[in-house]
Chains A and B, each alone.
Chain A
Amino acid sequence: EVQLLESGGGLVQPGGSLRLSCAASGFMFSSYTMSWVRQAPGKGLEWVSAISGSGGRTYYADSVKGRFTISRDNSKNTLYLQMNSLRAEDTAVYFCAKLSIEYCPSTRCLISHFDYWGQGTLVTVSS
């Protein structure tokens, strides 16, 4: 059974830093691209960042580029999100999500959907 368990959320002041972790189990962690998706209170889903199975490729939403860093430790089956220069608008529940297997319908390859999610960890940025 696939399980994703986030930790590391909490209250932080504007301009501060926080590191989220996501412990994964039940699948071949190193074979899958992993992602962070957030949801501000009462708002919709926002994709934040993703990292390839090997860790060699990383992707970021414009809203967090230059402030957040995604990484992974395949020996520990753990995904991380280092969040620096936090702002009030970063307040959200942060979900760790496993992406589906990459497929190549033509000359390019795609990763379709988020097939497993954690329960989320709340990050509150406030003074």
Chain B
Amino acid sequence: DIQMTQSPSSLSASVGNRVTITCQASQDIGNFLNWYQQKPGKAPKLLIYDASNLETGVPSRFSGSGSGTDFTFTISSLQPEDIGRYYCQQYDNLWTFGQGTKVEIK
């Protein structure tokens, strides 16, 4: 099974600040990685697919990079509506989510 290790588990940043989340796979998964946002009480929403492609309609302040085992998700300028939890998910072998990162406004 492929394990996904996401960090940090939570972060607090000011509006306008840059936020970075990392995700490490237990084995090489190429670029078979997606990122989701989940707001409280809601279902997750796809933001980034194939490590770096922005889903249609998602603001350009969200971006992703990486390949192999190490991936990064960035919010270039944190907005109040970005609070929630963010998850990475691999699909090289079935599907596995990272543990999630809770993003709060300082």
Contacts and interface: CB of A to CB of B under 8 A. Distances in A.
Interface of A: 35, 37, 44-47, 50, 59, 61-62, 95, 97, 110-115, 117-120
Contact of A112 (B1, B32, B97): B32
Interface residues of B, number: 22
Interface stretch (B14-22, B61-69, B70-78, B86-94): B86-94
21 contacts: A44-B87, A44-B97, A44-B98, A45-B38, A45-B87, A45-B89, A45-B100, A46-B97, A47-B96, A50-B94, A61-B94, A95-B43, A112-B49, A113-B34, A113-B46, A113-B91, A114-B36, A114-B44, A115-B46, A117-B43, A118-B43
B86 to A, nearest CB: 10
Interface string B47-70: 001100000000000000000000
Contacts, number: 52
The 10 A-B pairs of least Cβ separation, nearest first, read: A117-B43, A44-B100, A45-B97, A47-B95, A113-B34, A44-B99, A112-B91, A113-B46, A113-B49, A45-B87
What's the dominant secondary structure at chain B's contact region?
Answer: loop
Contacts of A37: 97
A61 B38 CA distance: 22
Interface of B: 1, 32, 34, 36, 38, 43-44, 46, 49-50, 85, 87, 89, 91-92, 94-100
What's the dominant secondary structure at chain A's contact region?
Answer: strand
B44 A117 contact: yes
Given A44-B87, A112-B34, A59 B94 contact: yes
